[in-house]
C-alpha cells in the first residue's frame, strides 16, 4: 500500500495514539498483576517499553517512575523501592538491583516560586 507523505504522517500519529493508550492499559494491568506476581508486572513493563520504542514515543513521566531504569522491574514504593528527597531531586532506590534513579524537580520548584511571587497571600 502506498501513502502520500501527509497521509502516512497521519497514520503514524494515529498509531502512536493507539500505542499510548495501550501503554496506559499495560501499566494499569501491571499494577494489578504486581499483587499476584511481580514477575508478571516486570514482563508487562518490558512490553510497554517495547511498544514505546517501536512507535518512537516517549513514555509519559508518570510511567517513567514506575519501573527501574537498570533492571526494568516494576517498582512499587516501599515494596521494592525506596523513595527519598534529596536537594532538588527525587531519588528512587531499586531493591532488586540496588541502583539509584534520580529525578530532578527543579521545574516544579520554580513554578511554585513564581506562583508565590504572583500572589503572595494565597500561599
In the bound complex, what is the minimum distance in angstroms from residue 110's beta carbon to Zn ion?
30
Q: Give the residue with the Cβ less far from Zn ion, 33 or 74.
A: 74
Q: Give the residue with the Cβ less far from Zn ion, 19 or 96.
A: 96
In the bound complex, what is the minimum distance in angstroms from residue 102's beta carbon to Zn ion?
14
Distance CA 31, CA 13 (A): 27
State the residues that interact with Zn ion by CB under 5 A. Answer: 68, 70-71, 94, 96-97
Report whether 52 contacts 19 (CB < 8 A).
Answer: yes
SS3 50: helix
In the bound complex, what is the minimum distance in angstroms from residue 57's beta carbon to Zn ion?
23
Amino acid at each position: 500500500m502506498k501513502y502520500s507523505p501527509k497521509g502516512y504522517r497521519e497514520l503514524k500519529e494515529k498509531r502512536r495514539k493507539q500505542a499510548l493508550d495501550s501503554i496506559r492499559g499495560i501499566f494499569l494491568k501491571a499494577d494489578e498483576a504486581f499483587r499476584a506476581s511481580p514477575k508478571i508486572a516486570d514482563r508487562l513493563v518490558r512490553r510497554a517499553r517495547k511498544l514505546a520504542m517501536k512507535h518512537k514515543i516517549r513514555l509519559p513521566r508518570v510511567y517513567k517512575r514506575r519501573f527501574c531504569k537498570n533492571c526494568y522491574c516494576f517498582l512499587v514504593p516501599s515494596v521494592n523501592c525506596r523513595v527519598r528527597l534529596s536537594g532538588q531531586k527525587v531519588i528512587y532506590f531499586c531493591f532488586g538491583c540496588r541502583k539509584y534513579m534520580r529525578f530532578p524537580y527543579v521545574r516544579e520548584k520554580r513554578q511554585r516560586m513564581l506562583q508565590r511571587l504572583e500572589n503572595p497571600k494565597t500561599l
